[in-house]
Structure 1
Amino acid sequence: MDLSVWLALLALFFAGGLTPGPAVMLVMSTSLRYNARIALIPAVGISAANLVWMTLAASGIATFAASLPVVLTGLKIAGLLFIAWLAWSMASTDPAQPRASAALAPLRTALFGRGVGLQLLNPNALVFFGLLLPSYFDAARPVIPQAAIIMGTVTMTEMLGLTVYAWAADTMNRRFQNPDFARWFNRFAAAAMLASALFAAFLTTAR
């Protein structure tokens, strides 16, 4: 992979990792409910799902699936329903309850599973990995080394961005220990999560 191509890839996913979307909102919500360290569990799940997406992109399956209207529509509907459920769960959280301790957090596998499920069904992921990422592969060069570089780059930028948001939410929670603040933040995060997914679904339709 040429250095210029790698730098373009780095810029794309670094910007994507810092752009609020369903994955960011899930991590921030988890951080507000528990703490930043616990919020990294769904972040790891999101990164694990990214590896699946990148494998599909490298093999050409993601682009092929994105070119089939029935598959594309089914994926978007399933993703929007899952994200709508997550958004509702976030918006309906009772902020008057004491902040849950890490010891009382749901099973780590459940939080990890939420991260995986969200990213596998996230229309934003379809845009990045199904429509944009394949163009960064050079057909004249071996696929496996390129895929390894891309996986490492995307995982690093994704985890960096999600970690920043996790700690930012944790800091906000400590500074604004107010039920009204938590209530409105959860509602805003839920709306932003759903709006981002709807926009991505529309974008793939427009393309």
Structure 2
Amino acid sequence: MNAILHPGPLLLAFLLASLVLAATPGPGVLYIVTRTLAQGRRAGLTSVAGVALGNLGNALGASLGLAALFAMSSWAFTVVKLAGAAYLLYLGFKALQPSSAGPNGEPLPAPALGRMFRDGFFVALLNPKTALFFAAFLPQFTDPAAPVLAQSVALGAVFVLIAACTDSAYVLVAAWAAPRLGGFQRGALVGRYASAAVYTGLGLFTAFSGGRAAK
């Protein structure tokens, strides 16, 4: 990566800006924190990995011109946006389903980590505003004298790595706080309803937000 991204003021500015943006709470942080409160630290960290892979897909898509397609085609943007909104609303509905105990009161197994990873991946990937964010943000730190595509991909990967680190910190804090909400069962109940509210709110926001603003 050193051959693509040369140390210097431009790279330092990118790292600082990425850290500030990644650490600022937003929809992704809300998703990860509520998942952690509802299902624990492993679920939160698994969701972080899924979100990171989805964001990396958007970064690659932006680098390869997906954002340009969204900018030119309102139809393509709308289709992806509504698909993401529908998936978030589905997750909100699923979060409300009781899952704390089986027919005889025994605890039910937590959802498979693979499913949590998949949910995080699609929540991030089906957000076209993320691709537009990368398309607007990454060129600000690209050296036109070097290969632009390679730089864009590398910068996107670095941003996703930074965001994964800050998201993981949020997970650890949420996992620490969950038992202090009055016991883990109560924390899980609060997290379940918070998850449903966050998923539904994000789904409605995604469906009815009109502009192609950045992330």
Bucket of the pairwise TM-score, normalised by the shorter protein:
0.7 to 0.9
Retained in 2: the 8 A contact 1:51–1:151? yes
Structure 1: tracts of 5 or more residues without a match: none
More helix by share: 1
AA of the residue aligned to 2:211 = T
Q: SS of 1:141's equivalent?
A: coil
Instruction: Say whether residues 1:164 and 2:169 are aligned partners.
Output: yes
Q: Does residue 1:204 correspond to 2:200, yes or no? A: no
Answering whether residue 30 of structure 2 is matched by residue 32 of structure 1, we say no
8 Å contact 1:95–1:183 — kept in the other structure?
A: no
Contact 1:75 1:121 in 2 (8 A): yes
Whole-Å separation in 1 of the counterparts to 2:178 and 2:194: 15
SS at match of 1:204: coil
1:9 to partner: Cα distance: 3.1
1:74 alignment partner, one of 74, 79, 98: 79
Sort the Cα spacing of 1:8 and 1:197 in 2 relative to 1 into closer, same or farther, 3 A. Answer: farther
Alpha-carbon deviations, 1:82-131, whole Å to 9, x = none?
122223333x1549769x79xx3322221111111111112542442244
Moved more, 134-143 or 151-160: 134-143
Contact kept, 8 Å, 2:138 with 2:156, in 1: the verdict is no
Alpha-carbon distance change, 140 to 204 in structure 1, aligned in 2, over 3 angstroms? farther
Shift of 1:65: 2.5
Supply the distance in 2 between the matched residues of 1:199 and 1:138 (Cα, whole angstroms).
35
Say if 1:19 and 1:124 are closer, same or farther in 2 by CA, change over 3 A. farther
Question: Amino acid of the residue matched to residue 163 of structure 1?
Answer: S
Match of 1:116 in 2: 121
Q: Does 1:41 align with 2:46?
A: yes
CA distance in 1, matches of 2:202, 2:36: 20
TM-align CA RMSD: 3.3
The structure with the larger Rg is: 2
What is the CA–CA distance in structure 2 between the aligned matches of 1:88 and 1:18, rounded to whole Å? 28
Residue in structure 2 matching 1:19, options 24, 33, 43: 24
Deviation at 1:44, TM superposition (A): 0.8
Verify the 8 A CA contact 1:22 1:83 in the aligned structure 2. no
Question: After the TM superposition, which of the residue ranges 194-203 and 155-164 deviates more from structure 2?
Answer: 194-203
TM-score, with normalisation over the residues of structure 1? 0.77
TM-score by length of 2: 0.74
When residues 132 and 94 of structure 1 are mapped into structure 2, their CA distance, relative to the original with a 3 A threshold, is: same
Residues 189 and 106 (structure 1 numbering): CA distance in 2 closer, same or farther, change over 3 Å? Answer: closer
Cα separation, partners in 2 of 1:38 and 1:186, compared to 1, 3 Å: closer
- Structure 2 residue runs of 5 or longer lacking an equivalent are none
